[in-house]
């Protein structure tokens, strides 16, 4: 869900990932790292989908927000989701791998097929964009939104290394 932005697209992404895993299952089983392999396939499938012409031609919106715990600030969560959804595909993938999947910089770099420096720069740019988007909200809510961003993305946006 964090990678795609809505449950339906996440469902499609998981289905495409499972189909690819099914075809290569004997190799996955022999490798012994099914979770890492599945995560890699999912991220690559997401990035591939974002590059396709279909995404540029078809834009579905209007989905209902997910039901969350009563203690969560719904507006801040929706603002955060919208800010993350507005990121370019590689920046979004870097943020999701680093903060939602809790992977190290090196693990994220391996999955994305790039250097650790690229992961760091993509993550930094993504966090700057998210912070800017969150600050554009109402002035009285900005401290609540910033606190929510820190709760969801880590204190000060820093990595978990």
The predicted pLDDT at position 88 comes to 93
Q: At what angle do helices 7-23 and 34-51 cross, to 10 degrees?
A: 120
Neighbours of 25 (CB within 10 A): 13
Q: Would you give per-residue pLDDT tens digits along the chain (161 residues)?
A: 577 777 788 888 888 888 888 888 888 888 778 888 888 888 888 888 777 665 555 555 656 556 555 576 778 888 888 888 899 999 999 999 998 888 899 999 998 999 999 999 999 999 999 989 888 864 444 454 455 555 555 544 444 44
d(C-alpha 78, C-alpha 65), whole Å: 8
Whose structure tokens read 């993938």?
93
| Global confidence as pTM | 0.48
* C-alpha closest to that of 133 among 91, 72, 71, 90: 91
DSSP state at residue 14: H
CATH fold of 7-157 reads Arc Repressor Mutant, subunit A (1.10.10)
Q: Which two tokens stand for residue 13?
A: 């992404």
Q: Residue 12: its pLDDT value, please? A: 84
pLDDT, residue 57, reads 53
DSSP 67: P
Burial environment of residue 44 by CB neighbours within 10 A (0 to 12, 13 to 18, 19 or more): middle
């Amino acid at each position: 869900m964090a990678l795609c932005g809505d449950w339906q697209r996440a469902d499609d992404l998981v289905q495409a990932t499972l189909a690819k895993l099914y075809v290569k299952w004997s190799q996955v089983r022999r490798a012994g790292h099914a979770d890492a392999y599945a995560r890699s396939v999912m991220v690559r499938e997401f990035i591939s989908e974002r590059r396709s012409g279909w995404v540029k031609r078809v834009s579905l919106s209007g989905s209902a927000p997910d039901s969350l715990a009563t203690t969560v600030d719904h507006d801040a969560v929706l603002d955060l989701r919208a800010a993350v959804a507005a990121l370019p595909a590689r920046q979004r993938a870097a943020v999701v791998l680093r903060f939602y999947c809790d992977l190290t910089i090196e693990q994220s770099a391996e999955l994305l097929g790039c250097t650790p420096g690229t992961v760091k720069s993509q993550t930094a740019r993504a966090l700057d964009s998210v912070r800017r988007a969150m600050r554009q909200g109402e002035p009285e809510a900005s401290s609540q939104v910033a606190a929510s961003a820190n709760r969801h993305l880590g204190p000060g946006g820093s990595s978990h290394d």
